[in-house]
């Protein structure tokens, strides 16, 4: 997979397309998109900071991969109001490029080149629906919705009821994956085998809104017979369309609540975690590659739990009876006299 150093091009504008070509042959289309975005971002940085009138200037790898230049790019990204995760994504992509171009261990390789720039993945608290809000959606009168709205709501509810199934996995389910009220499939992201029993409520929705044509897919979301890259682009278009339709529907059903395709999965994990389900079981249910991934996934929830405990502790203090005169005040270390 690594590009040999002796064959490497010394221009980022030429080198990244070479890597993208390898990713394309491996069918890694999301990674292709990240590399392409990183190159466009760095080209814009150079055009504004170094070559305002010459956007065709070469992007020398020797000049790019220095601590000073990487820091300048990071500062420029921050000045563009880029989020921490966006900055991290671009920096980690450049780091991957560097490790391909200058393989670790060879003469000249700098193992701490990226130590002063942000390459972490910031764990952000994402919105999840409450149990009451999910119940409200489940009890929606479908007869007042258009067919398209019914389908969108059905897919959202199914993602929740099928153990927080991601939209990409739902969209790629095949009719052959459903056998005897059980869905068996491999996660699109990790390839992990998943076996999910379909609850009665979910089965009713599934049977009513499943694809009724001769398509191989269980739901009318994708079409077969496409080349891999074309299929990827079709899926991305389907996801964007679904999220737009879902956002419009939620303005009607849950005004003021931000919802996306990811919300169903996040809600399932949140409710399971706050219900006391062990992290190991949540990890297995979500199909994560390891418990460590789940711990990172649930990290924002820990803060919520701790904050709630803190409020409970303070509440206990407030509700306690005041000590008699002369007793020690445990909060302030003074006499109550």
Residue of higher predicted confidence among 64 and 330: 64
Q: Strand 193-197 and strand 328-329: pairing?
A: unpaired
Which one is predicted more confidently, 313 or 328?
313
The pLDDT assigned to 58 comes to 73
CATH of the domain at 166: 1.10.443.10
Evaluate whether residue 199 is within a structural domain: yes
Asked if residue 281 belongs to a domain, the reply is: yes
Domain count, the chain: 2
Locate tokens 């929830």: which residue? 301
Closest alpha carbon to 57 in 15, 9, 16, 11: 11
Compute the residue count for the chain: 337
Place of tokens 């199909």: 287
Of 137-151, 275-289, 300-314, where does mean pLDDT reach its minimum?
A: 300-314
| pLDDT, tens only, 155-213 | 999 999 999 999 999 999 999 999 999 999 999 888 899 999 999 999 999 999 999 99
**Are residues 86 and 154 both part of a single domain?**
no
134 vs 31, residue with greater confidence:
134
pTM across the whole model? 0.69
Say whether both 152 and 92 belong to one domain: no
**324: Cβ–Cβ under 8 A, 6 or more apart, which residues?**
336
Q: What is the DSSP string of 194-213?
A: EEEE--HHHHHHHHHHS--S
Say whether both 96 and 135 belong to one domain.
no
Same domain, 140 and 287: yes
pLDDT for residue 162: 97
Residues 54 and 146 in one domain: no
Lowest mean pLDDT segment, chosen from 14-23, 67-76, 201-210, 300-309: 300-309
pLDDT tens-digit readout, 87-116: 999 999 999 999 999 888 888 899 999 999
Q: Do 78 and 224 share a domain, yes or no?
A: no
Mean predicted lDDT score pLDDT of the chain: 85
**Residue 302 resides in a domain:** no
Residue 154 located in a structural domain: yes
Q: Is residue 318 part of a domain?
A: no
**Span 230-288, pLDDT tens digits:** 788 888 999 999 999 999 999 999 999 999 999 999 899 889 988 888 888 988 898 88
Of 82, 101, 120, which one is at a domain's C-terminal end?
101
Provide the β-strand partners of residue 193.
186
Helical axes 291-319 vs 279-286, angle rounded to 10°:
140
- Inside any domain, residue 258: yes
What is the Cα–Cα distance from 140 to 253, expressed in whole angstroms?
A: 8
Given a contact cutoff of 8 angstroms between Cβ atoms, the answer to whether 161 and 202 are in contact is: yes
Q: Which two tokens stand for residue 250?
A: 């939620």
Name the helix (H) or strand (E) containing 45: helix 29-49
Distance CA 92, CA 120 (A): 8
Alpha carbon distance, N-terminus to C-terminus of the chain:
76
**Any domain includes 334:** no
Q: Which domain holds residue 43?
A: 5-101
Q: Which residue has the tokens 């062990």?
A: 278
Q: What is the pLDDT of residue 103?
A: 85
Burial code of 111-126, b = ≥16 C-beta within 10 A, e = fewer? Answer: eebbeebbbeeebeeb
Residue 121 lies in a domain: no
Helix (H, G, I), strand (E, B) or coil at 140: coil
* Enclosing H/E stretch for 77: helix 67-79
Say whether both 144 and 267 belong to one domain: yes
Q: Which of 262, 278, 295 is the last residue of a domain?
A: 295
Asked if residue 272 and residue 190 are part of one domain, the reply reads yes
Q: Could you tell me if 96 and 137 lie in one domain?
A: no
State the average pLDDT over residues 62-72. Answer: 95
- Claim to verify: residue 182 and residue 85 sit in the same structural domain: no
- Cα(160)–Cα(157) distance, integer angstroms: 5
**177 and 68 housed in the same domain:** no
Among 48, 80, 101, where does a domain finish? 101
Q: How confident is the model at residue 225 (pLDDT cuts 50, 70, 90)?
A: low
280 and 189 in a single domain? The answer is yes
């Amino acid at each position: 997979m690594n590009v040999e150093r002796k064959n490497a091009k010394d221009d980022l504008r030429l080198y990244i397309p070479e890597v993208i070509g390898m990713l394309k042959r491996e069918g890694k289309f999301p990674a292709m998109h990240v590399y392409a975005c990183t190159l466009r971002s760095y080209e814009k940085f150079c055009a504004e900071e170094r070559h305002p009138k010459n956007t065709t200037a070469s992007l020398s790898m020797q000049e790019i991969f220095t601590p000073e230049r990487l820091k300048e790019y990071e500062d420029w990204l921050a000045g563009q109001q880029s989020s921490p995760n966006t900055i991290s994504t671009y920096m980690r992509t450049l780091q991957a490029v560097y490790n391909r171009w200058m393989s670790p261990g060879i003469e000249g390789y700098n193992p701490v080149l990226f130590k002063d720039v942000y390459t972490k993945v910031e764990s952000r608290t994402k919105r999840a629906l409450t149990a009451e809000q999910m119940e409200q959606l489940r009890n929606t009168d479908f007869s007042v919705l258009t067919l398209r709205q019914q389908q969108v709501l059905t897919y959202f509810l199914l993602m929740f009821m099928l153990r927080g199934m991601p939209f990409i996995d739902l969209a790629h389910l095949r009719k052959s994956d459903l056998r005897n009220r059980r869905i068996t499939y491999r996660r699109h992201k990790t390839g992990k085998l998943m076996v999910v029993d379909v609850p009665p409520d979910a089965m009713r929705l599934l049977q009513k809104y499943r694809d009724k044509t001769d398509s191989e897919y269980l739901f009318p979301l994708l079409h077969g017979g496409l080349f891999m890259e074309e299929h990827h682009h079709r899926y991305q278009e389907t996801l964007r369309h679904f999220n737009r339709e879902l956002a419009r529907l939620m303005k009607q059903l849950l005004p003021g609540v931000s919802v996306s395709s990811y919300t169903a999965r996040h809600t399932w994990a949140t409710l399971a975690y706050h219900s006391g389900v062990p992290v190991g079981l949540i990890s297995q249910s979500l199909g994560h590659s390891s418990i460590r991934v789940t711990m990172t996934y649930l990290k924002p929830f820990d803060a919520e739990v701790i904050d709630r405990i803190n409020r409970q502790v303070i509440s206990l203090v407030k509700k306690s009876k005041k000590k008699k005169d002369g007793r020690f005040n445990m909060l302030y270390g003074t006499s109550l006299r």
